[in-house]
Amino acid sequence: MNKCIKITVSKDKIPNDFLRSVVQKHAQKFNIEGIAQVFVPDKKVRIIACGLKPDVDGFIDQLHKRFSELSIQGVEVEPYIKDKDYRNVFRIIE
C-alpha cells in the first residue's frame, strides 16, 4: 500500500546541508520518491515523500530522530494526495 505525506518546517531552524545530508540520504535508503523544496518568501521547507507505507513510516521516524537531536520544533506532518509523478526519484529544490 502506498502512502504520501507532507512535512513542513521553518528553514531558519535547519542547518544548510540538512536537506542533502539527511533528508535525501534517508529518502534513498527507504526508496522514497518526492521533493524537498525551500520556499524563500515564507522561510519554510516543504518535503513531499511517497512510497510504500512501511518505508514512509521509517523515513518519518528517521527525520523525527534527527529533528529532536537538533532541537527542531514546529515540524508539521500531514497526509498528502500525490498530484505529480516523481518518477521514483527524490529531488532537492533550493
User: Is residue 85 predicted with pLDDT exceeding 90?
Assistant: no
User: Could you give the CA distance from residue 28 to residue 18 in angstroms, rounded to a whole number?
Assistant: 14
Structure confidence by residue, pLDDT tens digits, 31-71: 999 999 998 888 899 999 999 999 999 999 999 999 999 88
User: Could you give the CA distance from residue 1 to residue 53 in angstroms, rounded to a whole number?
Assistant: 6
Percent of the chain with pLDDT over 70: 100
Domains in the chain: ranges and CATH:
2-84 (3.30.70.100)
Q: So what's the pLDDT on residue 37?
A: 93
